Structure 1
């Protein structure tokens, strides 16, 4: 009986793993490229030339509830205030990569 339960558990586990969607890691190098081509004009070095207090620095992202990839992805897709929406201009992969890049740079203090 114990062997039967172990086999059932093993089969169920294998099915669960095979049906779970795979989360692909973001490509930071691509994110840097996308940022340079689309974001750096206003956000060079994590700054903000339009609204100086709403930077991409960790402290500001935390203060404004933006310190997560999901929040950044939403902002990039939909835009807000002076920031245009990039949802129709960039692919989902590019947006995911640039969000990961922004989070990575914010964690490093935009030191490179």
Structure 2
């Protein structure tokens, strides 16, 4: 096989002893090739397992990131806004609305079904109530009036209330997943 692979090679002039060596080498080569293929059948599953173990974490991360259940921010700026909204919520709202609930008025939670039932299911409506207040909910806007309807605590700027309204709406749409401490 070794010499016969060379085109136009005539091996008839080779001595019988050399011819036997070439035949033995070809036999050895073919046996080794078969043995390697047999060993590969045992080695291959181990290599595949190692490959899968190396590939599993990034594939799982990609699956989670691209999953329709989780809606990641579209940009870095949006991620910062979400974090700022969570921080504002933790600072100003969590005392009454921990995890989207309402410890003062149970029927006025921040869950989507209660927001819809109370006619506050848009970001604009959430903004309006956060700014001016409604019922037992105090207003947090800088220009909130009448005085008794507004918070006695620190007031929020208009852009902060917008961030809060966006944050509350997005959390309500997701069923209020665990927000942790909001990155304070």
C-alpha displacement of 1:64: 0.8
Give the TM-score, by structure 1 length: 0.75
Counterpart for residue 37 of structure 1: 91
**Gaps (5+ residues) in structure 2?**
1-77, 143-154, 179-184
- Structure 2 Cα separation of the partners of residues 67 and 44 of structure 1: 18
Gaps spanning 5+ residues in structure 1: where? 1-24
Matched, 1:62 2:128: no
Aligned to 1:93: 159
- Matched with 1:110 is 176
Task: Report runs of 4+ in structure 1 exceeding 3 Å deviation.
Answer: none
What SS does the aligned partner of 1:101 have? Answer: helix
Instruction: Name the count of aligned residue pairs.
Output: 89
- Give 2:131's aligned residue: 77
Tell me the TM-score normalised to structure 2 length.
Answer: 0.46
Q: Determine which structure has greater relative contact order: mean sequence separation of CA pairs < 8 Å that are 6+ residues apart, divided by chain length.
A: 1
Work out the CA distance in 1 between the residues paired with 2:139 and 2:160.
13
Bigger Rg over Cα: 2
Q: Which deviations, in whole Å up to 9, do the C-alpha atoms of 1:58-106 show, x marking residues without a partner?
A: 0100111101000000001101121111002101110000000001110
